[in-house]
Amino acid sequence: MLKLHNLSKFYRTDEVETVALDNVNIEIESGEFVAIMGPSGCGKSTLLNIVGMLDSPSDGDYIFMGENVAGYPESKLSNIRKQNIGFIFQSFNLIDELTVEENIELALLYHNIPAAVRRERVAKVMDKVGIAHRAKHMPSQLSGGQQQRVAVARAVVGDQAMILADEPTGNLDSAHGQEVMEMLQSLNAEGTTIVMVTHSPAHADYARRTINLFDGHVVTENLRAAV
Amino acid sequence: MFQNYVQAALRNILANKVYGLINIVGLAIGLTACILIMLFVRDELSFDRFWAQSDNIYRLHTTFNVPGRQPFVTGSAQGPTKEALKAYFPEEIEYTMRFAQMRPVVKYQNKVFYERVHWVDPEATDIFDLQVVEGDLAVALSDNSSIALNQSFAQKYFGDEVAVGKILTMTTFGVVRDYKVAAVFRDLPHNTVLSFQALTMIDEQDFTHQPDLFSTWFSLNNWVYFTLKPGADISKVNAQLGSFADAAIIAPGAFEEGTKASDIVTYSTMPLTELQLKAPGGREMKPVGDQQTVIIFTSVAGLVLLIACINFTNLATAKSTQRAREVALRKVLGARRRQLIQQFISESVLLATAGLLLAIVFVELLLPYYGQFLDRTLTFSYTGTFGLTMFAGLVALVGLVAGFYPALVLSGFRPAHVLKANRSTETKGSSRLRSGLVILQFSISIALIIATSVVFGQMVYANSKDPGFNKENLLIVRNVSRDGVAEKQQILKDEILRLPGVVAAAYSADAPADGNESNSSVSIPGNPEVGSILIGRQLVDEDFFPSYEIPIIAGRNYNRDFAQDGIPDFSTAKPGEVLNGTLIVNEAALKRLGFGTPNDAIGKIVQIRTGSAGSDASFANLELIGVVADTHFKSLRKLVRPEMYYFVPDGFRNLTVRYTGDPLALLIQIETTWRDLAGDVPFSHSFVDEAMARQYLQEQNLATMLGTFASLAVLVACMGLYGLASFTAERRTREIGIRKVMGARVFDIVRLLVWQFSKPVLVANLIAWPVAAWGMIAWLESFPYRLDTWVLVPLCMIAGGLALAIAWATVGGNAARVARANPIKALRYE
């Protein structure tokens, strides 16, 4: 699915250069469920942003589905991103002014899909994550777990091949957290590639592989048998 | 406490520089407009208040109600009213006096000028307290060979020498007389409707050959002022002006049977102090202002300030969520709502004060140009009562209008809610109010753009409308009725016709855009029930129509070879005698006379009469030999006048020259010809197209002022929109980030933000169009000849499109910047 080769990312201010990622080499196959772990500031989120094409690497190659996208301009990245990648954030990032339904539809809005088809797909995915009864509600009327389910629905409604989840359970209590993890797992079972950043070893256990980052380096990779 | 408020306010302004800048600059622009207009209004209201008797001086106004014509309204009165008023109102009226304006040739040693001199009654000294610096004004006005001059006039002729005792020679209506300077008075200030530089006494015996000046009841050549006796009431005079007209006007045979003088002539009075703004129109010593303009400008300046106040309200409420914590904490620490309202109002007052300081800088910079535009010197004293009152008033007004609502919203936050949620969501109400206010701002701006374009359009229309004659390449030579020229008119015309580039030349009494109004009453022999009809009269020679290129629709032009052509010579006519002559009229006159088609009218007879007394009148039967097209010799504010063109040998005041090629070269040649023939008589000329364009100066000034205000309104409104847009973009960063992650392109985001601000502008059009259209249609009504109403449709659409384009340009740049930002920054932090 994707391959990072000697990938580096550094931030420059006037005086200091901060290295966020240093010669990272990672390969992720189609259909994998990968967890990325590491202490705060180790570069997890930077890595996820680069993988999600929200940020570009300073050096190295990023091969996504056979294409080296490392030097691609924003508009081209945006196109690849919207076709293939769904996002789930720790803070859900739903738009407060839109209903549940509209929030999910947003992921299809910029894809030139006819309205009728959009509605149909949104309805289907809402059923799947069990939020259909809340379709007309505003995000502020939902619990955290429900909001994250909406976010998951939004991430998959476009049939994206890969989902990037940035601490999806970070803002949830354990029961809701588990609910979301199970949802991700079942998506993975249907063939969606999932890359997840997490602090929780328990939630990392849902993944088949864990990549540990420390100070911008990959320190270990653990393979685990499917649960 | 107050210091704490000021400190919080200052920090808040400094922390949000764009916000502070928009408010201060916006308010400064609004305040500048208001201050400048207030200076103008104060000046307009100060007119003629400096006279000792300013509250007791009145002017007599006359309106002629001619059947079938618009009433002819004037600020003048007939010469005989001076004595008649005193005689009719012995209990009320104390002094009466007349001003008659003439343009004699004034000579002193080798200085010869054609000057404006006013003939006045000696009572002038009892009514107007002129500041005499030399000599004695009463002496100067006590005989017909003394004169009083203002300082500039004395300076012009005598330099620094003592003027009193010097002799000026003046030629008036052929009479050459020496005038001894008996007094010098200070120049009048600009804030008076009076304007004179030299005064001499009216001796009616000197003008027996010009009965129109002082002795007839059908010429309006005097401004008649009067004062009341102590305790007298002007309303008593006003109530009896109708019976005064009937009693005073003695003109046998001038009225039809059963018609009273008061049916034709209506009098009214106006206090001197109201003349500047309410004078009825017609001739004045200098151009006067008008109330409508003052009201329009005052309201428009107020609207610009309102737009600036709305900016404050909008930005303050939009930003209120950011200050919710401050409010919550103050409340937790014991602040009451009233104190918080005080705090926020102090903040808006502080901003208004900052705006005012900047406005004062703007006013100082603009005042010279503004004065130039208004053609007067305006000064601004900061420490005077007027200045201080105005400052305090404006700051308090702006502070309250702009700050009240935000203060109410801000002080209403509930601390528990704010502190728990750690941020406050805005109420629906205040965001709706904000949209409403943006709509209001743009409604005002769009309406002003429409108004400007209509006024400008009407000016262009009036200027380009076919006046019925060819106004291009026409030069008027003035002063041809002066002694030294009048007797050489034929030679002058022949000489000028010989110059290269001169195509044609014609004499006439009036020239286009002159304000003169002459009428004659005619009757139709054998048709007594028609009675006498008053029709406009122009004196012309046989070259008039060809020179002006006025088409003759039926019949023929005057011809010198026909001895009977024109108005017969009445000088030898016996009382009751009927002479014969010919006449050309325009189409409008034909309608008045009821003569059918132009071709039908040829050969019909009308009768005119000379002399006013019934018994010694003689008559002329005039055969219609031609009908010409209607022409606009006057502003399009007047309807086409029914006109009789009298073909006469003299009485001309203007020589019209049609030319080709370079007018300036020709002018030099004409002036040389003039000097050779006329010697001392000053040469004066004008170009017809320029004179006609000058008639629309008032509209031009209105268009300039409205245009300026419209631009300011749009500018201030856009500043507010910019502030709101940047605030909104800031507030929506997270949403924009999410949308971008979902695949939105920069274009999608820009469209989203721009559309948000297009809505209020589009709605504003729906409000502005009908309001502006209604107002401007009403304004256009005062022009009998005006732009088609449907022109408003494209003008409205253009104004709306312009406003939208400007709004887009304002919002678009900011939106693009926000849309290009990297979305992860917006999403990473909460």
Measured CA to CA, the distance from residue B322 to residue B345 in angstroms comes to 17
Q: Enumerate the residues of chain A whose CB falls inside 8 A of the CB of residue B830.
A: 91
B228 within 8 A of B587, measured Cβ to Cβ: no
Half-sphere exposure at residue B599, Cβ-oriented, CA atoms within 13 angstroms: 0
Greater pLDDT, B502 or B175: B502
Would you say how long chain B is, in residues?
A: 830
* pLDDT (0 to 100) of residue B222: 94
Judged against a pLDDT cut of 60, whether residue B365 lies above it is answered with: yes
The minimal CB distance from B742 to the residues A49, A91, A110 is found for A110
Name the H helices within B681-745: 688-694, 697-731, 733-741
Q: Does A170 touch chain B (CB under 8 A)?
A: no
Query: How long, in residues, is chain A?
Result: 227
List C-alpha distances in Å: B312 to A134, B18, B317, B448, B569: 40, 12, 8, 21, 78
* Alpha helix stretches (DSSP H) within B111-162: 124-127, 137-140, 151-158
3-state secondary structure of B147: strand
Question: Which residues in chain B touch residue A107, judged by CB atoms under 8 angstroms apart?
Answer: 742-743
Q: How many helices (H) and strands (E) does chain B have?
A: 28, 24
B88-99 exposure pattern, b = at least 16 Cβ within 10 A, e = fewer: bbeebbbbbbbb
Count other C-beta atoms under 10 Å from residue B584's C-beta: 29
What is the four-CA torsion angle of B649, B655, B660, B662, rounded to 10 degrees?
160
Three-class secondary structure of residue A20 per DSSP: strand
pLDDT at B613: 47
A50 close contact with B: CB closer than 8 A: no
CA distance B610 to A142: 101
Which whole number is the average pLDDT over B18-47?
A: 90
Higher pLDDT, B47 or A140: B47
Are B644 and B522 a contacting pair, CB within 8 Å?
yes
CB contact under 8 A, A54 and B822: yes
- Buried-state track B802-823, b at ≥16 Cβ within 10 A, e below 16: bbbebbbebbbebbeebbebeb
SS3 B123: coil
CB A171 within 8 A of CB A163: no
CB contact under 8 A, A75 and B745: yes
Contact (Cβ atoms closer than 8 angstroms) between residue B230 and residue B55: no
User: Please, which pLDDT band fits residue B422 given cuts at 50, 70 and 90?
Assistant: very low
Q: Would the CB atoms of A87 and B748 count as touching at under 8 Å?
A: no
Put simply, whether A110 touches B (Cβ < 8 Å) is: yes
* pLDDT greater than 50 at residue B423: no
The verdict on B739 touching A (C-beta cutoff 8 Å) is: yes
Q: Which residues of A touch B828 (CB under 8 A)?
A: 45
What pLDDT is attached to residue A227?
Answer: 42
Across the interface, of A52, A87, A93, the residue whose CB is closest to B734 is A93
Provide, as residue numbers in chain A, all residues whose Cβ is less than 8 Å from the Cβ of B735. 95-97
Residue A154 touches chain B, beta carbons under 8 Å: yes
- Which residues, 6+ apart, have CB-to-CB distance to B31 below 8 Å? B305, B308, B352, B355, B356, B359, B394, B398
pLDDT digits (tens, 9 = 90+) for B57-94: 999 999 988 766 677 888 999 999 999 999 999 999 99
Going by their DSSP bridges, the two strands B643-647 and B223-228 should be labelled as unpaired
Distance (Å) from the alpha carbon of B742 to chain A's nearest alpha carbon: 5
pLDDT band at A72 (very low <50, low <70, confident <90, very high): confident
Q: How far apart are CA A210 and CA A199, in angstroms?
A: 11
Average pLDDT, chain B: 87
Lowest mean pLDDT segment, chosen from A93-97, A191-195, B485-489, B662-666: A93-97
Where would I find the beta strands (DSSP E) of B601-683? 605-610, 618-628, 643-647, 654-659
State the SS3 of B644-656: EEEECCCCCCEEE
Angle at B167 between CA B164 and CA B173, to 5 degrees: 125
Q: Say if A75 is an interface residue toward chain B (CB within 8 Å).
A: yes
pLDDT at B235 over 60: yes
The per-residue pLDDT for B830 is 41
Going by the DSSP 8-state scheme, the letter that residue B273 receives in this structure is: G
Test mutation, A48, A51, A78, chain B, max B CBs within 10 A: A78
In chain B, residues 788-827 whose CB comes closer than 8 Å to chain A: 822-824, 827
pLDDT in tens, B612-655: 545 677 889 999 999 999 998 877 777 788 899 999 988 899 99
Closest CA to B157 of B146, B144, B166: B166
Query: How many whole angstroms separate alpha carbon B244 and alpha carbon B236?
Result: 12
Alpha-carbon distance B590 to B224, whole Å?
36
Q: By CA distance, what is A83's nearest residue in B?
A: B743
- Interface A:B, Cβ pairs < 8 A: 51
Is residue A87 within 8 angstroms of chain B, CB to CB? yes
Answer whether B448's CB lies under 8 Å from B709's CB: yes
**What was the pLDDT predicted at B424?**
47
CB B824 to CB A78 under 8 A?
Answer: no
Could you tell me which chain A residue has the CA closest to the CA of B829?
A: A91
Neighbouring residues of B633: CB distance < 8 A, sequence distance ≥ 6? B467, B510, B511, B512, B513, B514, B538, B641
d(CA B568, CA B646): 10
B634 touches chain A (CB under 8 A): no
Nearest CA in chain A to B735: A95
- Output phi, psi for B585, to 5 deg: -125, 170
Task: Kindly report the three-state secondary structure assignment for every residue of B67-88.
Answer: CCCCCEEECCECCCHHHHHHHH
Of B744, B745, B827, the CB nearest to A89: B827
Q: Please write the tens of the pLDDT for every residue from A163-188.
A: 999 888 888 888 888 888 988 998 89
- Asked if the Cβ–Cβ distance from A78 to B828 is below 8 Å, we say no
Considering only alpha carbons, which residue of chain B is nearest residue A156?
Answer: B742
- B5-40 burial, b if ≥16 CB within 10 A, otherwise e? beebbeebbeebeebbebbbbbbbbbbbbbbbbbbb
Q: What is the rounded average pLDDT of the residues A185-210?
A: 89
Residue A221 to chain B, least CA–CA distance (Å): 26
- ipTM beyond cut 0.95: no
User: Residue B257 — pLDDT band, cuts 50, 70, 90?
Assistant: low
